Amino acid sequence: MKLQVDDDELAACVACGLCLPHCPTFRVTGDETRSPRGRIAAMRAVHWEGMPADETFVRVMDECVQCRGCEPACPSAVPFGHLMEGARATLAAETGYQPRWRRAAYRMLGHHRLLVLGSRALAVAQRLHLTPRRLGLPELPLRSAPLRASGSDVWLFTGCVMDAWQRDVHRAVQRVVEATGTGVALPGKGSDCCGALHVHAGLRDDARRLAERVMGSMPGDAPILVDAAGCGAALKDYGRLVGTAEAERFSARVLDVHEWLVPRLDLLPVVSQMSAAVVAVQDPCHLRHVQRTHLAVRTVLARYTALVELDDEGLCCGAGGAYSVQQPELAGDIRARKVEVIARSGAAVVASANPGCMLHLAATGIRVRHPFEIVAEALDAG
Ligand code: SF4
Ligand code: SF4
């Protein structure tokens, strides 16, 4: 089987192993086949040596969190994310890797109204104690007031799960952005989902369709602010995904909200006192390893609260988009390491700028906030 990967990118790995300590699945298993080097070796065997893409190969690919923690650690600059996306796209196109029911679940993300209705039904079921605890779901909102646009200086991308389950985070972001004197526009029709999970699942055609719609939902030249690390990384990659000059231009307008706010911090009202809580910053992988804008979170938060660093060099928390649902055992083992690190830090609150990480960590009882929720509260307190 020929994988949809670039031969030069696949050849770039020199098997040095420097990425291994940065790989969460290798860290919890010590198993070479669950390391970046092992996964690249498996891709080479299938792509160049004619090995069958059998069950073992599918497992080896499927167990990767796609955190891309291996990329900044790699001296040969192997673009591991591209390789894994290409391998999964091939499996999705040529094998039963993504069964119909999973494809249908991914498609639902592209129908926001349906997602909101489904979430509401789930919220009712939760109130009636009809949802099993092992699902690890947060308490979903029964209803949430719609956001209201306040201008046209910047777009605020709202997306799928975050808007259905955590709209209050968008509300906090809007509150902070407006406090700088900036008017916020909300996307029009078609902004249902960024397609990040579809790319991860190898469903590139679905992802491209969603990307085209998202681009149409925020026309013009205004910057596009994103408060979810995974969505921000996806929107910044539309140039590569869609492959047009228009998509390149769109991606160039996308900013993570923290990187947008840093040069504007002095526009925010001065607050009289810092929060008493000590906050640990959890770096979502797609902010730290992909967008590489994680330091901006600290710059923003340091004005409002005391911060502590986690001593695990940004190792993944195991959420990985749909990974925690599809690989619950490995995701749980990876999270257990993160929970230990958080406990060691002594922090009362964890700040995380990605909905998947927030939900995955909060399911253990840890108090998790989006950084902009902390800033909005500080501004409200004055
Ligand atoms: S993307 Fe993450 S889980 Fe996958 S091989 Fe790289 S470090 Fe390991
Ligand atoms: S991916 Fe990079 S760091 Fe990992 S083994 Fe290959 S060359 Fe070394």
Q: Which amino acid is at 190?
A: G
67 lines ligand 1 (CB under 6 A): yes
Neighbours of 185 (CB within 10 A): 17
Q: Which atom of ligand 2 is nearest to the CA of 17?
A: 5
Residue 273 C-alpha to ligand 2 middle, in angstroms?
46
Ligand nearest to the CA of 76: 2
Determine what percent of the chain falls in helix, strand and coil, rounding each to the nearest 5. 55, 10, 35
Domain made up of 269-381: CATH architecture: 3-Layer(aba) Sandwich (3.40)
Per-residue pLDDT at 122: 83
Residue 66 C-alpha to ligand 1 middle, in angstroms?
5
Distance of CA 167 to the CA centre of its chain: 16
| Residue of minimum CA distance from atom 4 in ligand 2 | 19
DSSP 319: -
Question: In a 10 Å sphere around its CB, with 0-12 CB exposed, 13-18 middle and 19+ buried, how is residue 254 labelled?
Answer: buried
Ligand nearest to the CA of 26: 1
The token pair at 319 is 């959420």
70 lines ligand 1 (CB under 6 A): yes
**3-state DSSP call for residue 60?**
helix
Question: pTM above 0.85?
Answer: yes
Residue 50 C-alpha to ligand 2 middle, in angstroms?
22
**3-state DSSP call for residue 24?**
helix
> What is the enclosing helix (H) or strand (E) of 351?
strand 349-352
User: CATH 3.40.50: which residues of the chain?
Assistant: 269-381
User: Maximum distance among all alpha carbons in the chain?
Assistant: 66
User: CATH 1.10.1060.10: which residues of the chain?
Assistant: 7-94
CATH superfamily to which 7-94 belongs: Alpha-helical ferredoxin (1.10.1060.10)
65 lines ligand 1 (CB under 6 A): yes
Contact 90, 17 (CB under 8 A): no
pLDDT tens digits in sequence order for the chain, 382 residues long: 999 999 999 999 999 999 999 999 999 999 999 999 999 999 999 999 999 999 999 999 999 999 999 999 999 999 999 999 999 999 999 999 999 999 998 998 888 888 888 888 888 888 888 877 766 677 777 888 899 999 999 999 999 988 888 999 999 999 999 999 999 999 999 999 999 999 999 999 999 999 999 999 999 999 999 999 999 999 999 999 999 999 999 999 999 999 999 999 999 999 987 777 899 999 999 999 999 999 999 999 999 999 999 999 999 999 998 898 899 999 999 999 999 999 999 999 999 999 999 999 999 999 999 999 999 999 998 8
Ligand nearest to the CA of 9: 2
Residue 235 C-alpha to ligand 2 middle, in angstroms?
27
Q: In the structure, which protein residues have their CB atom closer than 6 angstroms to any atom of ligand 2? A: 13-19, 36-37, 70, 73-74, 76, 78
Ligand nearest to the CA of 316: 1
